[in-house]
Amino acid sequence: MNRYNLCCLPTPLHRLDRVNLGIEAWIKRDDLTGFAMGGNKGRKLEFLVADWLSRGVRAVVTCGASDSNFIRQLAVVGRMVGIEVHAAVMDLPFDSAAGRPKGHSTYRGNEVLSIQAGAKLYKEADGDWEDMYESMEQISRDLNNEGVFAEVVPVGGSSPQGVHAFVQASKELNETFDTIVVASSSGSTHVGLATAFHGTATRVIGISADPEPTLVEDFAVLSQAYGERTGGLALTKFDLDLRFVGPGYGVPSEGGRRAQQKLLESEGIYLDPVYTAKAFDGFMNLAAEGVLGSKALFWHTGGMPSIFTEFA
Kindly list the catalytic residues. 68
Look at strands 295-300 and 24-29 and give their pairing: parallel
Residue 26 pairs in a beta bridge with 15, 297
Residue 62: helix, strand or coil by DSSP? strand
Closest CA to 170 of 17, 30, 6, 4: 30
User: Is residue 11 within 8 Å of residue 42, measured between CB atoms?
Assistant: no
Return the amino acid letter for 98.
A
CB distance 9 to 29 below 8 Å = no
Q: What angle do CA 95, 209, 304 make, to 5 degrees?
A: 125
SS3 (DSSP) at 26: strand
Contact yes or no for 40/33 (Cβ under 8 A): yes
Asked if 101 and 212 touch (Cβ cutoff 8 Å), the reply is no
State which amino acid sits at residue 277. Answer: A
R_g of the chain, CA atoms, integer Å: 18
Alpha-carbon distance values, 289 to 102, 123, 285 (Å): 29, 42, 6
What separation in angstroms does the CA of 207 have from each of 118, 127, 189, 284?
32, 23, 12, 11
If you ran DSSP here, which 8-state letter would residue 31 be given?
A: G
Residue 271 phi/psi, 5° resolution?
-120, 150
DSSP 3-state of 150? coil
